[in-house]
Structure 1
Amino acid sequence: MDSFVATRSRMPALEERIRANPSAFRMLTGERPTGLLHLGHYFGTIRERVRLQSLGVETFVVLADYQVITDRDTAASVGDNVREAVLDYLAAGLDPDRTTIFTHSAVPALNQLLLPFLSLVSEAELRRNPTVKSEQLASGRALSALMLTYPVHQAADILFCKGNLVPVGKDNLPHVELTRTIARRFNDRYGVVFPEPDALVTDTPEIPGLDGRKMSKSYGNAIALSMSPGETAATIRRTRTDNDRRITFDPEGRPGIAGLLSTAALCTGSTPEALADEIGDKGSSVLKDLAIEAVNAFLADHRARRSEFAAQPGLVDEILTAGNLRANAIADATLDEVRDHMGMAYANRQEPVLPTRPAG
C-alpha cells in the first residue's frame, strides 16, 4: 500500500486518541521565514495548529530561520519575516501561554543533536528524500551539504522537544518517516530517549494560488495575510484570465480562472463549481470582484486583531524571548539525556570559570 494512503487510513484512530487524551501529545510544526505568510499557510497549517491547541495539545512552533539558507544565498529580511509571522500567529488564535513560539537559531542545543543524528542515516537515504531530490533538479547547481542534510535538521526540530505529533501534507510525509527512523535507530543503539512521532495528515487539499499553481511566496501568486484590502484587490485584479466570458472551473485549461474560483470558495465555504455556475457568463471582471469581496470579508477580523497586536510595542520580542527561553531549557535537558545515553557525560556541566590574568 502507498505510504500516504496507509498513513491516511490511520488518521481516524489517531484523531480519536488525540481527542481522548490531548495532553499525551506534544506537537511540533513551523515554517521557514522566507516571506510573508499567506492564505495557503492559513488554510494549510495555521488553522490546524489553532484547532489542536484548543483541544489541549501542547504546541511548539519553530520559525526555522537557519533553514532559510538551505536553498538561497542570503538571509536578508528574515528578521522582518519572523516578526510578521508572529503577528499572524497571534491574529489567527495561537496563544503564547499555550504555544511555544521560538526561532531555530536561538536554540544551540537543538543543533548539537545533528551530529549523533547524522551518524544514523546514510547519504543514499538523504538523497532519496523528495525535497532534496526536487531541489537538486530545480536548482541546476551543486547540492549544498545543508540542503542534503535538511531532513535531519527537521528531525532535530521535532525530537529536541520529544514531539510525538507532526501535522503534515503529503509532500512532507517522508520527513516524518525519516524522523521516526532516526528516533528508532538512536533508541536501539543507545537506549530509549525519543518517541517515534505520528504524522497527522489533514484533509486540507493543496491550496492553489491565483494563477492555478500551488500558492507560494516564490511564485508571486499568493495573498499575504498582512495585506490591506486595497493591496488584496490590486493583487487579484492582476491575475491573468482569458477572454471567454463563460466562467467554468477548469484547472488545467483555465488556471487563472480556477485559481480565483478556488480562492473565493475557500473564503466563503462554497465550492469552485458552485461559484462558477453562480457567475455564469458575466465574465472574469465579476469573478475578480467576487474574489476580492470574499477574501477581504474573510480576512477582516484577522486584520483587525493583527493591527491591535502590532500596536503593542515590544510584544513580539516578549513572545520570542519567552519562547526561546523555554525551547532552550527543553533542548538543554534533551541534550544532557542524549549525552548520558551515549556515555559522554564526563563531568557536571557548569558555566566555565575563566582564569584570572597574572598581575603585572
Structure 2
Amino acid sequence: MTTTVDTLGASVAQHRSAELEQLIRTEPGRFRVLTGDRPTGRLHLGHYFGTLHNRVRLQDLGVETFVLIADYQVLTDRDVAENLSEYVEELILDHLAIGIDPERSTVFAHSAVPALNQLLLPFLSLVSVAELNRNPTVKDEIAHSRQSAVSGLMFTYPVHQAADILFCKANLVPVGQDQLPHLEITRTVARRFNERYGNGTPVFPQPDALLSEAPLLLGTDGAKMSKSRGNALALSATADETARRIRGARTDAERHITYDPERRPEVSSLVLLAALCEGGDPRQVADELGDGGGAALKRRVTEAVNERFAPIRARRAAYAQDRRLVRDVLRAGNERANAIADATLKDVRAAMHADY
C-alpha cells in the first residue's frame, strides 16, 4: 500500500496534536491560540460542535485565546460584504453566549487592526505564485467561489491567514485536517522570515496545528450544514424554530433506526446530533430508538437540542438586550489586538532594518 505525502503530513500532525493536548493540560500558559470566523451569517450547531465549544475549553484551561472576526475575508469568495455590521454583532453574541469571556479571551475584527494587515506585504514576498497555486484548500475554495473570477484576495488568502496568526505570535491553531495546507503556508512564512531577517533570533514561532475531531453534521436537506445553504440549525434559533426545522429534516424509508453514516447519512447525522447534545454514544441512541422510526428520532433530537442549548439561548437573549455591551467587547478586543499588532510590526521593521 502506498502512503501519500498528504497522508504522511496528516499522520504527523495527528501525532503532534495528541502531544500538544497533553502539554495544554499541564502547561496551558505556554500557548497562544488564534481562531475565528468570517461574519457571513448566523453560527449553527455544526460550528458549535466543530469549533466553538473547543474555544471555550481552551480558554477555560488557561490558554491565551484570540478570536478573530475575519470581516475583510468575507470578500474572498463574494463581491460585497452584505449585512456586515449585523453579522459581526451576531458573531459576538454567539461567542458570549457559549462562554467566551472577554476578560480572558480577545475578540477583535480584522479591519480594525491596520498593523495586522500591513504584515501581508512582507509576507507575500516570502512565498511564490507556484506555492499558492498548489494549495489544495485554495483550489477547493476557488471552485466553490461566488465570484465570476478569482480575485487577488482569494489567491493570497493563505498569506492573509498567516498574518492573522502571526500578528499575535500565536503558536497553536485549532484546525480541521482540510486546513493543514493553509497552516503549512503560515509555518513557511514564519520560517522564511526568521531565516531571512532573524539574524539568529526567531521573530515568529512556527505554529502547530491542534487537530479537531469535529463531527460532520448534515443540514436538514442532507448536505453539509452550512450558513449559505439555508439548511442549518442556528444557535440563536428558538425552541419552536428548532422543532420545525428538525421535523422537516430528510431521513429515509427504513423504520428501524441505526447508526450507519456511510449507508444512512441523513438518519445517522440526526442520531449523532442527539448523542452530542446528550453526551452519549450514537449507537446507543440508535439502539434505544429501535423501531420507533423517523418521527421518534426527530422528537428525540428536538428534545436533546432544545435542552442542551436552552441556557446558551437564554444568555444570548440577555446579551442581545444590551447592544452597547457587544460594541464594548469588540472595542476592548480591538484595542488589545492593535497594541499587540503594533508591537509585532515594530519587531518586523526592526528585523528588516526598516525602522526609520
TM-score, normalisation: structure 1: 0.92
1:143 maps to what in 2? 150
Q: CA RMSD in A?
A: 1.6
CA–CA distance in structure 2, aligned partners of residues 79 and 280 of structure 1: 47
Deviates more, 1:132-141 or 1:320-329: 132-141
CA–CA distance in structure 1, aligned partners of residues 62 and 281 of structure 2: 31
1:190 maps to what in 2? 197
1:287 maps to what in 2? 297
In structure 2, give the amino acid aligned to 1:301: P
Matches for 1:94-173 after TM superposition, within 5 Å = 94-139=100-145, 141-173=148-180
Deviates more, 1:241-250 or 1:279-288: 241-250
2:79 maps to what in 1? 73
290, 302, 317: which one aligns with 2:312 = 302
Deviates more, 1:112-121 or 1:82-91: 82-91
CA–CA distance in structure 1, aligned partners of residues 315 and 169 of structure 2: 32
Q: Say whether the 8 Å CA contact 2:17–2:210 is kept in structure 1.
A: yes
2:259 maps to what in 1? 249
Summarize deviations over 1:221-274 as a string: whole Å, max 9, x none. Answer: 221110000111111111122333222233344332222112112111223322
CA–CA distance in structure 2, aligned partners of residues 231 and 97 of structure 1: 33
CA–CA distance in structure 1, aligned partners of residues 64 and 98 of structure 2: 17
1:354 maps to what in 2? none
CA–CA distance in structure 2, aligned partners of residues 166 and 62 of structure 1: 12
In structure 2, give the amino acid aligned to 1:16: Q
Q: Say whether the 8 Å CA contact 2:72–2:110 is kept in structure 1.
A: yes
Deviates more, 1:264-273 or 1:243-252: 243-252
For the pair shown, the structure with the greater C-alpha radius of gyration is: 1
In structure 2, give the amino acid aligned to 1:41: H
Deviates more, 1:337-346 or 1:291-300: 337-346
In structure 2, give the amino acid aligned to 1:239: A
Matches for 1:313-328 after TM superposition, within 5 Å = 313-328=323-338
In structure 1, give the amino acid aligned to 2:49: F
Task: Say which SS state the counterpart of residue 50 (structure 2) adopts.
Answer: helix
Task: Say which SS state the counterpart of residue 2 (structure 1) adopts.
Answer: helix
**Structure 1 stretches of 5 or more lacking a match?**
347-360
Q: Determine if the alignment matches structure 1 residue 222 to structure 2 residue 229.
A: no
In structure 2, give the amino acid aligned to 1:44: G
1:13 maps to what in 2? 19
Q: CA deviation at 1:316?
A: 0.4
CA–CA distance in structure 2, aligned partners of residues 138 and 93 of structure 1: 32
In structure 1, give the amino acid aligned to 2:297: L
267, 272, 276: which one aligns with 2:277 = 267
Summarize deviations over 1:104-149 as a string: whole Å, max 9, x none. Answer: 0111111110110000001111122222111233348432111110
Matches for 1:11-90 after TM superposition, within 5 Å = 11-90=17-96
In structure 2, give the amino acid aligned to 1:136: I
Deviates more, 1:12-21 or 1:194-203: 12-21
TM-score, normalisation: structure 2: 0.93
**Structure 2 stretches of 5 or more lacking a match?**
1-6
Q: CA deviation at 1:212?
A: 4.1
Task: Say which SS state the counterpart of residue 292 (structure 2) adopts.
Answer: coil
CA–CA distance in structure 2, aligned partners of residues 189 and 153 of structure 1: 20
Task: Say which SS state the counterpart of residue 83 (structure 1) adopts.
Answer: helix
CA–CA distance in structure 1, aligned partners of residues 25 and 264 of structure 2: 41
In structure 1, give the amino acid aligned to 2:65: T
1:213 maps to what in 2? 223
Q: Say whether the 8 Å CA contact 1:60–1:101 is kept in structure 2.
A: yes
239, 250, 265: which one aligns with 2:249 = 239
In structure 2, give the amino acid aligned to 1:89: H
Q: Say whether the 8 Å CA contact 1:33–1:85 is kept in structure 2.
A: yes
CA–CA distance in structure 2, aligned partners of residues 26 and 334 of structure 1: 15
Q: CA deviation at 1:327?
A: 0.7
CA–CA distance in structure 1, aligned partners of residues 295 and 307 of structure 2: 18
183, 208, 216: which one aligns with 1:176 = 183
Task: Say which SS state the counterpart of residue 274 (structure 1) adopts.
Answer: helix
